[in-house]
Amino acid sequence: MSGDGATDGLTRRTQNSSRELLAKAFFFGCAALSVATTLSIIGLLVYEAAKFFTISAPLLGIDGPTATLTEFFTGSEWGLQGPNLGVMPLVAVTLMVTIGSGLIAIPLGVATALYLSEYASERARSYLKPALEILAGVPSIIYGIFAVAYITPVLDTLFGVDGLFNVASACIVVGIMILPMVASVSEDAMQAVPDDLRQAGYGMGATKYDVSTGIVVPAAASGIFSSFILALSRAIGETMAVTLAGGSLARSFDPTSLASYLSLFDPDSYLEPGMTMTAAMIQLLTGDVTGGGLAYRSLFAVGLVLFVITLGMNVLSDVIARRYQEDYQ
Amino acid sequence: MAKQTDGVSRRTFLASAAATGAVAAAGCTSNTGTETDGGLSGDINISGSSTVFPLAVAMREDFTAEEMHPNVDISVNSTGSGGGFTNYFCTGDTDFNNASRPIKGVEEGQCSDNDVTPVELKVATDALTVVVNNDADWFGEEGKECLTVEQLAEVWSAEDKPTTWSDVNSDWPDEEIQLYGPTDASGTFDYFIEEVIGEEGSHRTDYQSTEQDNQIINGVANSEYAIGYMGFAYYSENTDRVTALGIDNGDGCVKPTLDTASSGEYQPLSRPLFTYPAQSALAEEHVAEFARFWLENSTSESIVADEVGYVPNTEDERDEMLDRLDSAIEAASE
Amino acid sequence: MSGSYDGFGRVSRRIGKLFRGVLFASTLAGILTLAVLLVYVANDAFQPLTADPGWHLVFLLTLVVPTLATGWLSYRRSYGTLATGLLGIVMPGIAALYAGGLAALFIDVIPTLVWLSFVIALAIPAGVIVALRRTDRSVPFLAELSAVLGVTVGSLLVVPGLVQGLPTVPADWMVLVLTLGLPEAFLLGRWIEGRWGRRDGWIAGAAILVGSAVGGVVGMVSGFGAVPGVALTLFALVPTGLYAAIVVRERPDRRIGLLLPAVIVVGMVAGELLVGALGFAGPESWVDWSFLTSTTQSGDPRSVGIYSGIVGTILLMFVVAAIAVPAGVGAAVYLEEYAPNTRFTRIIDVNISNLAGVPSVVYGLLGLGLFVRYGGQPTGTLLVGGATLALLVFPIVIISAREAIRAVPDSARQASYGMGATRWQTVKNVVLPRAFPGILTGTILALSRAIGETAPLLVIGAAQVFGVPDSWTSTIGAMPLQLYVWASTYASPAFYTTVLAAGIVVLLTAMLSMNSIAIYVRNHYEQR
């Protein structure tokens, strides 16, 4: 986007040589590829998922078993035998992982951001920030192995876990994984708070504690909030760690009853196994996949739900983040 | 090169150039072409049953050993019998599909739509094994733990869906049953429905379902009130971690062992295991050779029984299968 | 502004100190948790406690104490001296890893004769381009383009067959000397010529060429292997020697830092000889030569190896880089240098940041649908896996390349335009060279993300038991996939604390080595 004004006139004459046009076309093609990627994701997910639903499948010439939208969104069981095609039991466990990992990542992440932004020396920052980057860089399959091999035994000693798989260990490793995202996005927001505000606080006799909690955090609130959403959307899309740690038990969950929502906050239910949307997708892969059967189509239906949720959260976080940028610029 | 010297004389340069030339001359060989010497080479892709998976892996290991055919690249995927047929084998993506049940009519139809002709080869006999935790003491005294076929069906069928053990038998503990089993893509799952639950019934879905049978062992070993079922091979590797239940089919309790499975006493859960090469793939020498190798070793006590944990074929069975394979190879190469 | 500050009351420092302490503890919580987990993994992988106490004592005396002492001495001299020494030991270590990977490719995947034939086939059009550049610029662009394309296609069609049909051909290691050693000798020789003068450049070039051949002969004679010998010489010994030479010549004040790597190497060799002589048993480490080089797959943790996974990962990374880097950098150039400030540009903008947030398993679905189901490719192949991972890192490459391009000062562009350069010339001659270090850093970081991805590979149907691939359409495995298979298909406690720990060590080593290269490149060019 640079070089728009002054240089345009100078370069116009040579701009239309075939070499220039070819170069431009190549670069444009690359950029367009990113749009094509998005369109293919959306198109593929919608098209394949449409074959899964009773309402649209006949239009696409599918005569195999299908699911109604009501069944899919209000069914209380997940399983491909019989009429059990509710996605909500999977969404519920995904929500549990989101809540659990958020409980770890959000307080720790904000505290980390505040420390790095307001308290840490330049030298401490130069060591802590790369260390935090490593937390985010460790592959999720490794976190899954950590959860099963090292964290579940600890949970077992502390709380008595029944069996090898549980949601709690998944929450812990996913929490560690998304912590750096909360920390770095929140820290950026805190750094963007103009120093004038801090000086004004000190000028009124406020302590560093007062300034941090009373000025910096509120002023950066929208950025901090957007970091939560961004990090939680990562937790929702997380696959390997929750697959290895959480197991593959499709819980039953009745989306029409209040009690089942309350059970999401019951600590005991975190000590039991549970299958998230992503874990169910991995499990479906061992089933009837490329042949185009029910499992293949349901895979895309679940994928579509996952995509819509994470996309929605990304857009939301973007909108919130843009607001705070406008505040101080 | 680190040190500063007083210039390179022409002589030094020439000497090093000559040395390079000499080494280069020494570094030439006569062209033997790019194909590898001796042995067969090529890719073989295998999909299908997790029950047959360990057997296929053992055969792969021996076939690709250094003194055999190290240049044959065999990949094995545990996809479940049905998953393998519909997704990989009948679409022409894999050369073999393993199955813990015979191929279904629908699958045969799908295969023939794509011009894939499966050749059924029996490679071993399995005892589908029901396992519980070592601490579970309500199934009978130690060494004689037992379950009737009716009780087994009740635990796993979608109709009753007992949540606690006391729902099955009021003398048993009032604790939640933890269920571990194969996914619906598995031949073991199909076989279990057919023989235990019955064709008209359906299998419950609220259990930990996995195509990785060791996960079933792990789950059961770690939870006192758990029950699971899978192929005998996985149990035989873990006899100290979980307890296999005897099955009472009306004629008293029979524990799963290689002996009771081969004699047919262990009913209704002893079953044949198959691999299905695609006839067209057998036209390639390395594929045919691997199929023959597998069958020839299907009678091997040491590989099939000791290393993997299934009942080997009898020699008659092997000869019958070899005949079938030979005629398929002949048909393929025409 | 919240809070009320009415009046200057007594201010207690206790809350402030407590708060600071809590923040600091929170910052360390995640890092320490990971550190503890890694200590457990390292303990399970290397089993240091299984070694004789005498073994530990010997290495303490020959390696640890001298290393610490030398390190302390260098640090006393200056921080830069210590850094010089550390780089002197880390760089050869990482370089040796990559040389090993390269050797593995030439031993197991790419027949050297095929490689040679394609190098020659591509060298011909490269020569044509150079020749065209040398002539006066009277050739029209389109004619030049079609000439180059024609020569390339023709050469690729004819030359490989000719070369592969020759009666006498260079041996495997000689091919590497010719195809890799010769260019390296030429390029480094030119670089040194520019730095220290013509004569030194010639010496260095000749030394590299001769050295690589000697490495091959030594490798062959010693039984280490001729191909690894050449690879190790070219990509580990030569850079290390060059580094040492640069330090000695240009930073005499830091010369003493080079003592550190020397002490470490001598200490390791001495320790190894001593424990051998004294008969102390080393630890029964799970990360050993047979684990790294075995392709065995079985239910017995003692016999399995990760070699197929390593080779699979290397090949996947080549495919990912070949697709994602040109496309990603191209998109970044368009957005930064060409794109008009329109609605469409803003859509692309938003779209890219959202693409980066799409869960990896969804990219797997994209690959499955696009390449396997509708593209007619077989499941789980090298090409499908690489293309799927390339789509996954595509937005990451774009974002980091854009940052790098944006960091190029506008004055540089204006100067180029002022000299009458066109936009493409400016991009090619000014923007991309300046942004190169940043793009390189971003690319390596993107690849280090791709190296750990498992879910997309599972979704596109990669196999659980796989061998070393030998073509584009071979079923492929990768290191993280191998870990998943051990953790699920072979799940048993015997796997979790043994080979899985060893596998984690190998995967993390690969990943961290990439990250440290990226960080080094970034810091090196930031200082300029």
* Interface touch C352/A34, C-beta < 8 Å: yes
* Interface touch B91/A77, C-beta < 8 Å: no
Q: Which residues contact B172 (CB under 8 A, 6 or more apart)?
A: B138, B165, B166
Q: Based on the fold, state whether residues C353 and C502 are members of the same structural domain.
A: yes
In a domain, B240, yes or no: yes
Of B187 and A142, the structure prediction assigns the larger pLDDT to A142
Kindly identify which residue of chain A lies nearest to residue C369, measuring between CA atoms: A44
**C493 CA: distance to closest CA in chain B (Å):** 8
Mean pLDDT of chain B: 84
Of C396 and A3, the structure prediction assigns the larger pLDDT to C396
Q: Based on the fold, state whether residues C151 and C230 are members of the same structural domain.
A: yes
What pLDDT score was predicted for residue A174? Answer: 96
What pLDDT score was predicted for residue B219? Answer: 83
In a domain, A147, yes or no: yes
* Interface touch C467/B58, C-beta < 8 Å: no
**C203 CA: distance to closest CA in chain B (Å):** 7
> Which of A34-48, A65-79, A97-111, A201-215 is least confident?
A65-79
In a domain, B35, yes or no: no
User: Using CA atoms, how far apart are residues A43 and A39, in angstroms rounded to an integer?
Assistant: 6
User: Using CA atoms, how far apart are residues A73 and A298, in angstroms rounded to an integer?
Assistant: 13
Q: Based on the fold, state whether residues B173 and B229 are members of the same structural domain.
A: yes
Residue type, B60: R
Q: Are B325 and B332 in contact (CB under 8 A)?
A: no
In a domain, C459, yes or no: yes
Burial C174-203 (b: 16+ CB within 10 A, else e): bbbbbbbbbebbeebbeebbeebeeebbeb
Residue type, A101: S
The distance in angstroms from the start CA to the end CA of chain A is 20
Residue A33 lies in domain: 13-60
- Domain boundary, last residue among B250, B268, B286: B268
Q: Based on the fold, state whether residues B150 and B240 are members of the same structural domain.
A: yes
Kindly identify which residue of chain B lies nearest to residue A291, measuring between CA atoms: B87
Q: Based on the fold, state whether residues C395 and C457 are members of the same structural domain.
A: yes
**pLDDT < 50 positions in chain C:** 1-4
Residue B287 lies in domain: 42-124+272-333
Q: Based on the fold, state whether residues A253 and A141 are members of the same structural domain.
A: yes
Of B66 and C46, the structure prediction assigns the larger pLDDT to C46
Q: Which residues contact A201 (CB under 8 A, 6 or more apart)?
A: A210, A211, A214, A215, C1
Q: Are B110 and B97 in contact (CB under 8 A)?
A: no
Provide, rounded to the nearest whole percent, the portion of chain A with pLDDT above 70: 90
Pick among B47, B49, B85, B86 to test the A interface (most A CBs inside 10 A): B86
Q: Based on the fold, state whether residues B135 and B262 are members of the same structural domain.
A: yes
Q: What's the pLDDT tens digit per position in B200-233?
A: 777 887 788 877 788 888 888 888 889 999 888 8
Bridge partners for B164 per DSSP: B176
Q: Based on the fold, state whether residues B91 and B159 are members of the same structural domain.
A: no
The closest CB to that of B208, out of A77, A248, A293, belongs to: A248
Placement of tokens 């293949």 in the chain: A296
Residue B154 has pLDDT above 80, yes or no: yes
In a domain, B36, yes or no: no
The distance in angstroms from the start CA to the end CA of chain C is 42
Placement of tokens 């994701």 in the chain: A41
Placement of tokens 């490149």 in the chain: C521
Residue C404 lies in domain: 307-527
In a domain, B311, yes or no: yes
What pLDDT score was predicted for residue B274? Answer: 93
Q: Based on the fold, state whether residues B234 and B179 are members of the same structural domain.
A: yes
Kindly identify which residue of chain A lies nearest to residue C508, measuring between CA atoms: A138
In a domain, A4, yes or no: no
Q: Are C82 and C74 in contact (CB under 8 A)?
A: yes
* Interface touch A163/B178, C-beta < 8 Å: yes
What pLDDT score was predicted for residue C137? Answer: 63
Q: Are A271 and A159 in contact (CB under 8 A)?
A: yes
Cis peptide before B268 (omega within 30 of 0): yes
- Domain boundary, last residue among B243, B268, B293: B268
What pLDDT score was predicted for residue C3? Answer: 47
Kindly identify which residue of chain A lies nearest to residue C431, measuring between CA atoms: A2
User: Using CA atoms, how far apart are residues A46 and B131, in angstroms rounded to an integer?
Assistant: 42
Residue A289 has pLDDT above 70, yes or no: no
Q: Which residues contact A112 (CB under 8 A, 6 or more apart)?
A: A132, A179, A182, A183, A187, C23, C26, C27, C30
Task: Please tell me the total count of domains within chain C.
Answer: 3
Neighbours of chain A (3+ CB pairs under 8 A): B, C
What pLDDT score was predicted for residue B139? Answer: 87
In a domain, B12, yes or no: no
Residue B320 has pLDDT above 90, yes or no: yes
In a domain, A8, yes or no: no
User: Using CA atoms, how far apart are residues C418 and C434, in angstroms rounded to an integer?
Assistant: 18
Q: Based on the fold, state whether residues C272 and C366 are members of the same structural domain.
A: no
Residue B10 has pLDDT above 70, yes or no: no
Q: Based on the fold, state whether residues B189 and B236 are members of the same structural domain.
A: yes
Q: Which of C250, C224, C234, C110 is nearest to C178 (CA)?
A: C234
Q: Based on the fold, state whether residues B166 and B231 are members of the same structural domain.
A: yes
Residue type, A234: R
Residue B160 sits in a domain of what CATH number?
3.40.190.10
* Interface touch A293/B86, C-beta < 8 Å: yes
Where do runs of H (alpha helix) occur along C407-498?
Answer: 410-418, 423-426, 432-450, 455-459, 479-488, 493-496
Q: What's the pLDDT tens digit per position in B261-288?
A: 888 888 888 888 999 999 999 999 999 9
Query: Is residue A168 exposed (0-12), middle (13-18) or buried (19+ Cβ within 10 Å)?
Result: buried
Q: Based on the fold, state whether residues A124 and A230 are members of the same structural domain.
A: yes
Residue B193 has pLDDT above 90, yes or no: no
3-state secondary structure of C52: coil
What pLDDT score was predicted for residue A83? Answer: 59
Q: Based on the fold, state whether residues C93 and C35 are members of the same structural domain.
A: no
* Interface touch B79/A81, C-beta < 8 Å: no
Q: Are B178 and B225 in contact (CB under 8 A)?
A: yes
Q: Based on the fold, state whether residues A29 and A78 are members of the same structural domain.
A: no
The beta strand positions in chain A, using DSSP E, are none
- Domain boundary, last residue among B268, B289, B324: B268
In a domain, C445, yes or no: yes
Q: What CA–CA distances, in Å, run from A230 to A95, A180, A190, C29, C239?
A: 15, 11, 16, 21, 42
Q: What's the pLDDT tens digit per position in C252-296?
A: 888 888 999 999 999 999 999 999 999 888 898 999 888 998 888
* Interface touch B28/C173, C-beta < 8 Å: no
- Mean pLDDT on A45-70: 84
In a domain, B15, yes or no: no
* Interface touch B214/C241, C-beta < 8 Å: no
Q: What's the pLDDT tens digit per position in B108-123?
A: 888 898 889 999 999 9
Element (H, E) at A172: helix A167-191
Query: Is residue A13 exposed (0-12), middle (13-18) or buried (19+ Cβ within 10 Å)?
Result: exposed
User: Using CA atoms, how far apart are residues A3 and C336, in angstroms rounded to an integer?
Assistant: 10
Q: Are strands B226-230 and B242-244 parallel, antiparallel or unpaired?
A: unpaired
Residue A290 has pLDDT above 50, yes or no: no
pLDDT bracket for residue B24 (50, 70, 90): low
Q: Based on the fold, state whether residues C357 and C438 are members of the same structural domain.
A: yes
Q: Based on the fold, state whether residues C253 and C106 are members of the same structural domain.
A: yes
Q: What CA–CA distances, in Å, run from A245 to A148, A239, B196, B286, C481?
A: 6, 10, 31, 40, 16
Q: What is the secondary structure of B59-95 as a DSSP string?
A: HHHHHTSTTS-TTEEEEE----HHHIIIIIITTT--S
Task: Please tell me the total count of domains within chain A.
Answer: 2
Q: Based on the fold, state whether residues C259 and C380 are members of the same structural domain.
A: no
In a domain, C288, yes or no: no
Q: Are strands B242-244 and B129-133 parallel, antiparallel or unpaired?
A: antiparallel
**A137 CA: distance to closest CA in chain B (Å):** 27
- Domain boundary, last residue among C266, C282, C298: C282
In a domain, C481, yes or no: yes
Q: Are B130 and B229 in contact (CB under 8 A)?
A: yes
Q: Does B98 touch chain A (CB under 8 A)?
A: no
Residue A6 has pLDDT above 60, yes or no: no
Which residues of chain C make contact with A144, given a CB cutoff of 8 A? Answer: 487
User: Using CA atoms, how far apart are residues C496 and C490, in angstroms rounded to an integer?
Assistant: 9
Q: Based on the fold, state whether residues A23 and A106 are members of the same structural domain.
A: no
Q: Does B59 touch chain A (CB under 8 A)?
A: no
